[in-house]
Copies of this chain bind each other. A is one copy, B any other.
Amino acid sequence: MHYEELKARARVMKALSSPVRLKIVEELGKGERCICELQPLFRMNKSTLSRHVAALRNVGIVGERREGVKCMLRLLTPCVLNVFECAMGVIRAEARRQTKLVAGRHVAKP
């Protein structure tokens, strides 16, 4: 695969690599929201939240629609919600692996 394509994919993944942005995506999965509706979910400066939203917009995960003074956000590609499934798969598999390690520790080589 071309390196440019890998970089494009990496940019999308990077936009999803922050718990704050994942929470935004999760919330937008329920429907349109403006930033002022998202704000109470986080305790951070509105400028910081605005920048997180911008990161999601810049890669095309989130789109916006002006409505008066508000700016309604929505998921442009809801398939990102599926990505969560995979992430959970990785986390669960890792948890199982850790559990096994702990259980088998008393027979492991010293």
Contact = CB atoms under 8 A, between A and B. Distances in A.
Interface string A5-33: 01111101110111101110010000000
A88 interface: yes
Interface in A60-110: 60-61, 76-77, 79-80, 82-91, 93-94, 97
Contact of A18 (B10, B12, B26, B90): B10
Given A14-B17, A26-B1, A9 B79 contact: no
Contacts of A1: 23, 26
Interface of A: 1, 3, 6-10, 12-14, 16-19, 21-23, 26, 59-61, 76-77, 79-80, 82-91, 93-94, 97
